[in-house]
A and B are shown apart, each in its own frame.
Chain A
Amino acid sequence: MKSMVPVNTRIIDVFEETNDVKSFLLENNLDEDPLPGQFYEIYVRGAGEIPISIASWRDGLLFSVKRVGYVTERLHGMKKGDILGIRGPFGNGFPEHRRHTVLIAGGIGLPPARSYIEYWLSKGSRNMQLLYGARTPSDIVYRRILQEWSNYIDVHITVDKGDKEWKGNVGVVTTIFHRIKDRESDFIIIGPEIMMKFSVMELKKLGVSEDNIYLSMERKMKCGFGICGHCNIGRYYVCKDGPVFKYSLIKDIPEVFH
């Protein structure tokens, strides 16, 4: 149901992923199950509501949240057993998995990518590749799960800035684009706008069709279902028509990469 009224839900568990990212496992007492790439509005009483992508929904709803401001700060202070409000799921989610798909995730873009990978792995598909860029090695989330996935799919990780222990690639995510197996894949890009912008540029250089590139867009959101008017990019509402857009659909709107 599309409603402005949050439903109370309990925090089953909290996991510290990195310095500034925590995952919250919540009871799922909503009627509808999500699809990969959808998001929820999470209400922290006394602080406010924020849109957060679903990362996983096996034994409850899992959200991974980076601490960046007022509400996320308050959310990070919540503990197992505390009550949150929740509404959703909202948005269109990722496109159907129809062929080899390359997920390009930057920073806190990995949680939504996880929802896709987990979902389609569970349906038996291994026809995926993950290119993941983090700021530093200590900002890498889901280390254990990344390890596990690499048993089934091709996973490449890069960091903007390495440290003593880091043996992998150093550089922005486009520096590992030579790992892309198949240019005829679907490409799903999730991350900060600047990273999406350069990724699209590079993919186009590789000859990837604009119709095969999907972007998960981020805008300020308030309602989550197309009535508050906050999240539009041109004629589209990111909450309702997105957050995932085919690049060819929105590329001519100057607001896309501001």
Chain B
Amino acid sequence: MIYKIKKDLLKKYIDGLLEKYEVWGPKKIGNDTVFSKLKSGEEFIDARTLLGPKESIYPIKEKIGEMESKEIIVMGIKSCDLRAYRMLDDVLGIDEFYSSRRRNVHFLNFVCTEPCEYGFCSTFFGPRLDEYEMQFTDIGEYYIVESKNDKLIGRDFENATEDDLKILESKMRDFYNKMPPMNIENLHKKISWDDPRYREFSKRCISCGACNFACPTCFCFDTYDDDGLYREWDSCILSGFTRMAGNVNPRNTLDLRLRQRFMHKLRYHYENFSYYLCTGCGRCIEVCPVRIDIRDFIRGVGP
């Protein structure tokens, strides 16, 4: 069904959800916008955050065997993130803890009608998804709400009209005009092992791991014992990621590790799943201290 809700009623709707559920959403802390638990609808803002809400389904650090899951609603997630979590499902779906948590989280995604500074989602799936629970699009006075799960539809929802949908369409056309897709035809075949840019990037990369920690599709974790077994988000940019006993390391230099990141996203994963492990959210560019830019990388991939 396609509904709409008046923008100023959104707060009330969230307050309603808060009576029954834990609700997450973007909110302001100082001058920053972060994804976190909402205390009231008042706090919610429709904005893209520096980091997505990946930890709602995949905590940064957790004790193995003591993972818990509860029903929560993640409101205001952007489509690039949600699309990314569907990719995570293909890898992490066989993990009992991931999947039980995943089943319990309702994602209500908000469609971007304006391109963000670093994003290039139009190259992959664009700002709107075909698979969603409830998808909100800002059309001015209203949000259009496309729903595949009416369980969460509230009292203040009206039915959307033909005209509303026309506005939505024109907004999406505008969006694509402003963010023209890049050519990624056969990218997975073109991307090469010995691209000299891996070494180029390695000169400036400071191994902070941010590209991994901010990426909605990165799934790697480390495990260790710290009074019990834990798992924690890991980064393939770090040398300890592959270092084995006796200091043997198949990726002992930074250029090889940067190669792993680009090739995993743009080649290996495609070879295994027939899609790129990237949704064009642009976060890795934004959080990179030295601005290594995956868009430039893709554009510069040889013929």
Contact = CB atoms under 8 A, between A and B. Distances in A.
Interface of A: 2-6, 43-49, 68-69, 72, 85, 193, 218-220, 222-223, 225-230, 232-235, 254-255, 258
Contact of A220 (B95, B97, B244, B267): B244
B224 interface: yes
Given A48-B224, A229-B234, 19 more contacts: A2-B94, A4-B97, A45-B225, A68-B245, A69-B245, A222-B231, A223-B221, A225-B94, A227-B92, A227-B94, A227-B95, A228-B222, A228-B234, A229-B219, A230-B242, A232-B264, A235-B269, A255-B250, A255-B256
A48 B245 CA distance: 13
- Chain B: interface secondary structure? mixed
B252 A258 contact: yes
A235 B223 contact: no
B118 interface: no
A160 to B, nearest CB: 16
Given A4-B95, A227-B95, A235 B271 contact: yes
B251 A255 contact: yes
B142 interface: no
A255 B260 CA distance: 10
A44 B268 CA distance: 33
Query: Which 10 pairs across A and B sit closest by C-beta, in order of nearness?
Result: A229-B220, A235-B268, A68-B245, A69-B245, A258-B250, A235-B271, A5-B65, A48-B225, A222-B223, A4-B64
Contacts of A226: 91, 94
A258 B251 contact: yes
Interface of B: 64-65, 91-92, 94-98, 193-194, 219-225, 227, 229, 231, 234, 236, 241-246, 248-252, 256, 260, 263-264, 267-269, 271-272
18 contacts: A3-B96, A4-B64, A47-B225, A49-B223, A193-B248, A222-B222, A226-B91, A227-B219, A227-B221, A228-B223, A228-B231, A229-B234, A230-B220, A230-B242, A233-B250, A235-B267, A235-B272, A258-B249
Given A2-B94, A46-B225, A219 B220 contact: no
Instruction: Name A's interface SS.
Output: loop
Contacts of B256: 255, 258
A191 to B, nearest CB: 13
A49 B229 contact: yes
Contacts of B234: 228-230
Contacts of B271: 235
A116 B97 CA distance: 34
Contacts of B224: 48
B241 A254 contact: no
B65 to A, nearest CB: 5
A234 B268 contact: yes
Nearest to A67: B245
Nearest to A231: B242
Given A5-B64, A229-B234, A69 B221 contact: no
Given A4-B97, A225-B94, A230 B268 contact: no
A4 B64 CA distance: 7
A220 B224 CA distance: 13
A70 B276 CA distance: 38
Contacts of A48: 223-225
B142 to A, nearest CB: 41
A68 B243 CA distance: 13
B268 A220 contact: no
A3 B94 CA distance: 9
Contacts of B223: 4, 48-49, 222-223, 228
A255 B269 CA distance: 16
Which of A46, A193, A227, A254 has the most chain B CB within a 10 Å cutoff? A227
Nearest to A48: B225
B265 to A, nearest CB: 12
Contacts of A45: 225
Nearest to A49: B223
Name the residue in B220, B243, B249 with the highest tally of chain A Cβ atoms < 10 Å from its Cβ: B220
A194 to B, nearest CB: 10
B12 to A, nearest CB: 41
Nearest to B95: A227
A6 B64 CA distance: 9
Given A45-B225, A46-B225, A229 B236 contact: yes
Nearest to B246: A68
A49 B221 CA distance: 14
B225 to A, nearest CB: 5
A226 B194 CA distance: 26
A257 to B, nearest CB: 9
Contacts of A228: 220-223, 231, 234
Nearest to A1: B96
B64 to A, nearest CB: 5
A72 to B, nearest CB: 7
Nearest to A225: B94
